[in-house]
C-alpha cells in the first residue's frame, strides 16, 4: 500500500511518554534537555565565547530581563 498508514500495534502516546522520560530531566522545578546536551559538547563553550565577543564589539547588547518591550511596525513598500 502507498500512503500514510497508522499501525494498530503502535501506541503513539506510549512512545511519546517513553521518549519524554528518556530525554527530559526536571531540575529545580523546570524541565531541561538542551542544556544537558550542550554541556556534554564543546558547543556551549563556543556559543558563550561568540556571545561575549559580540558584546565586546557592540554587535549585540544586553537587555534587562524586565525591560518593557516597545513594538514598532515598518510598512513594506516596493522600491
Residue 6 lies in a domain: no
Given this model, what pLDDT does residue 17 score? Answer: 81
Given this model, what pLDDT does residue 51 score? Answer: 92
Given this model, what pLDDT does residue 54 score? Answer: 95
Supply the range of the domain harboring residue 58.
11-79
Q: Give the span between the Cα atoms of 68 and 29, in whole angstroms.
A: 27
pLDDT one digit per residue (tens) for the chain, 79 residues: 555 666 666 677 788 788 777 778 787 888 777 656 666 667 778 888 999 999 999 998 887 777 676 777 777 766 5
Q: C-alpha grid cell for residue 49?
A: 565565547
Total of domains in the chain: 1
Q: C-alpha grid cell for residue 12?
A: 503513539
Residue 66 lies in a domain: yes
Given this model, what pLDDT does residue 13 score? Answer: 79
Residue 1 lies in a domain: no
Residue 30 lies in a domain: yes
Q: Give the span between the Cα atoms of 5 and 39, in whole angstroms.
A: 39
Amino acid at each position: 500500500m502507498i500512503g500514510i498508514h497508522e499501525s494498530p500495534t503502535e501506541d503513539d502516546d506510549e512512545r511519546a511518554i517513553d521518549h519524554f522520560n528518556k530525554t527530559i530531566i526536571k531540575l529545580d522545578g523546570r524541565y531541561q534537555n538542551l542544556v544537558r546536551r550542550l554541556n556534554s559538547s564543546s558547543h556551549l563553550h563556543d556559543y558563550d565565547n561568540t556571545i561575549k565577543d559580540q558584546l565586546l564589539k557592540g554587535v549585540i547588547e544586553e537587555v534587562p530581563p524586565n525591560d518593557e518591550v516597545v513594538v514598532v511596525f515598518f510598512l513594506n513598500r516596493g522600491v
